[in-house]
Amino acid sequence: MRLPGVPTDLSDLALLSPCSKGVAAVAAKDLVVGHVAADTGSDRLEAGKRSASMRQSERQIGMRISLTGRVSIEANGSRLDERSFPGRQGRLVFAYLLAEEGRAVPRDELAEVLWGDAPPATWEKALSVLVSKLRALLEKCGVDGQAALRSAFGCYQLVLPAGAWIDVAAAREAADRSEAALGTGDIRAAREAAGEAAALARRSFLPGEDGLWIEEKRRELSELLVRALECLAGACLATGEAREAVRHAEELTALEPYREGGYRRLMQAHVAAGDSAEALRVYERCRRLLAEELGAYPSAETESIYRDLLRKPSRRDSSPAAPEPAASKRRIASTSRKPLLVVAAGALLVVIAAGAALQRSLGGEERVEAAGALAL
């Protein structure tokens, strides 16, 4: 059951109460009001959230946050790099809350992120200290730390001011814009957005760190890079830049060797560049990889491109041959006369041999005359 205007963790309390929906809603509302009043006036839940959001949006703080490459915050003309954070654990808590995009994260979930299955006995106090330091860090950026990093009912929630730029979210939005622009035929906008998405998605998420959630975020960035490269290759083909399309499609097949879409883009790019032979080699590479590694065959769409290639000769192969130079022609003419001389010499030897045979069969002058006549 979800109650309007009530957080998820509170509305779930209604399921535990035998009273009516209206009574449960009133009880949940009282819990919210009581918590907000008791939580040092930090305006955290529902009405408190709205007022905090309004205060921050009125200021429109320009904030840029990077979670790829090195963690950093840029705001109010200053830049706080990862050395400004409260150590490695502070960076992880900040990145995890930010990656959850406003979801209220339970404290024990954050403890697992920091310490795995073996948190220290004082982990709750240690986590509270980290959160306090992160709030102080946000204050340096001109953000109300209490309003941005909220705590309620055993959860923490990070809500940044309106207009804050986060690199991971920006990459996703750019990939969405690129696909939409390419679908409507706005090639220039598609290419610009795809280039932005690719540049952001190529960067590593929290380099040097590991964990299941970090690997998941890296896979998401890799998928965004694939989408961006597909759009870049498609935009280049639409503008006739075949060589650029080949470059993007090659990177696409290297990233996702088992995805046929990259091979199809690469085949189309080679055809557009006038190299059908190379496109056929790309098909063979795809076919062999699928057969040997997956025991599968190319899809009907890939096979269709392959059959079209067999029917259309490459422009390179069908181009007219260059004229031969004169020196080459003279060499050919001289070599063609050599067999004629050999044949003439052979005929002369046959005549002499026949004359000698006649001499043995005839006598005296008759043999000489016959031999002379035969020689003539």
Query: pLDDT confidence of 344, banded at 50, 70, 90?
Result: low
Quote the CA–CA distance of 246 and 1 in Å, as a whole number: 53
Report the 10 Å Cβ neighbour count for 151: 18
- Domain 167-311 is found in CATH 1.20.1740.10: no
Amino acid letter for position 141: C
pLDDT at residue 223 greater than cutoff 90: yes
Query: pLDDT confidence of 332, banded at 50, 70, 90?
Result: very low
Query: Which pLDDT score is estimated for 376?
Result: 39
Query: Which pLDDT score is estimated for 312?
Result: 72
Of all residues in the chain, what percent carry a pLDDT higher than 70? 67
pLDDT at residue 4 greater than cutoff 90: no
Mean pLDDT of 260-285: 94
Give me the residue label for tokens 């953000």. Answer: 143
Of residues 11 and 167, which shows the higher confidence score? 167
Query: Which pLDDT score is estimated for 77?
Result: 79
Return the closest-CA partner of residue 301 out of 271, 339, 331, 261: 261
Mean pLDDT, all residues of the chain? 77
Read off the pLDDT of residues 230-257 as tens digits, 9 standing for 90 and up.
Answer: 999 999 999 999 999 999 999 999 999 9
- Domain 60-163 is found in CATH 1.10.10.1100: no
Of all residues in the chain, what percent carry a pLDDT higher than 90? 61
pLDDT at residue 213 greater than cutoff 90: yes
Read off the pLDDT of residues 50-103 as tens digits, 9 standing for 90 and up.
Answer: 433 334 333 455 899 999 988 999 988 788 999 999 999 999 999 999 999 999
pLDDT at residue 372 greater than cutoff 70: no
Return the closest-CA partner of residue 164 out of 101, 206, 221: 101
pLDDT at residue 165 greater than cutoff 90: yes
Query: Which pLDDT score is estimated for 72?
Result: 93
Of residues 194 and 351, which shows the higher confidence score? 194
Query: pLDDT confidence of 162, banded at 50, 70, 90?
Result: confident
Read off the pLDDT of residues 274-310 as tens digits, 9 standing for 90 and up.
Answer: 999 999 999 999 999 999 999 999 999 999 999 998 8
pLDDT at residue 338 greater than cutoff 80: no
Q: Where in the chain are the domains?
A: 60-163, 167-311
Full 3-state SS string of the chain? CCCCCCCHHHHHHHHHCCCCHHHHHHHHHHHHHHHHHHCCCCCCCCHHHHHHHHHHHHHCCCEEEECECCCEEEECCEEECHHHCCHHHHHHHHHHHHHCCCCCEEHHHHHHHHHCCCCCCCHHHHHHHHHHHHHHHHHHCCCCHHHHEEEECCEEEECCCCCCEEHHHHHHHHHHHHHHHHHHCCHHHHHHHHHHHHHHHCCCECCCCCCHHHHHHHHHHHHHHHHHHHHHHHHHHHCCCHHHHHHHHHHHHHHCCCCHHHHHHHHHHHHHCCCHHHHHHHHHHHHHHHHHHHCCCCCHHHHHHHHHHHHCCCCCCCCCCCCCCHHHHHHHHHHHHHHHHHHHHHHHHHHHHHHHHHHHHCCHHHHHHHHHHHHC
pLDDT at residue 5 greater than cutoff 60: no
The answer to pTM > 0.75 is: no
Mean pLDDT of 352-361: 51
pLDDT at residue 22 greater than cutoff 80: no
In terms of DSSP bridges, do strands 72-75 and 78-80 run parallel, antiparallel, or are they unpaired? antiparallel
Mean pLDDT of 158-181: 95
